[in-house]
Amino acid sequence: MRAPPLLLLLAACAPPPCAAAAPTPPGWEPALDAPWCPYKVLPEGPEAGGGRLCFRSPARGFRCQAPGCILHASARNSLRASVLRNHSVLLQWRLAPAEARRVRAFALNCSWRGTYTRFPCERVLLGASCRDYLVPDVHDGVRYRLCLQPLPLRAEAAAASEPADPGECVEFLAEPPRMREIVVAMTAVGGSICVMLVVICLLVAYITENLMHPVIGRPGLRRHR
């Protein structure tokens, strides 16, 4: 059966179907049945324990978009740090499904480079369901190093003959984003001031040349008797 011409015209003028959004790579986000990420911020010192148990909601669907975010990745690209403009860093990681079943927790170590040595800044113990963590209040102009180590199940750790996975590390320099904006603003203001000064100098020169000195000896201005 032949379609009417009106239907063919409507079908030709109809907009194309929306393109499907790119799916999130598997392993970067926690499972749907894990709405919370439990974690502990541990006191400083390698032998210190304790820490208060906290919970945070995962950052689902997050995309690092310039210029408000700069993305840094580890060597194996399994750990990435999104440096945000509000002086915070969103750390994200992924695991293969088989590897994720053998992990009981994650150990996050943070350090920053000084003039002669490195200083620890934060140690966090995260649950096995966590796939991201927000590091707040990073300092401008400081090179940070964040290392994430998956901790295996105790039974597998005791039976394993090979050493545990040392984890992945990512380094980044927290650049001051406002400094670029300040330089641009100062350049614009300086250019405007220069233009105004040139106009003022030209105006002063004109006034000095034509208004402050009397007109003397011009031809054609003699009085006729």
Residue 66 C-beta-side C-alpha neighbours within 13 Å: 3
Per-residue b or e along 105-121, where b marks 16 or more CB atoms closer than 10 Å to that residue's CB:
bbebbbbbeeeeeeeeb
Lowest mean pLDDT, pick from 77-86, 191-200, 213-222: 213-222
pLDDT tens-digit readout, 36-89 = 899 999 876 554 456 788 999 988 888 898 888 999 999 988 999 999 988 899
Q: What pTM does this model have? A: 0.62
The highest-level CATH class for domain 26-175 is: mainly beta
Task: Break the chain into its structural domains and give their ranges.
Answer: 26-175, 176-209
DSSP assigned state of 48: -
Give Dmax (Cα) for the chain.
127
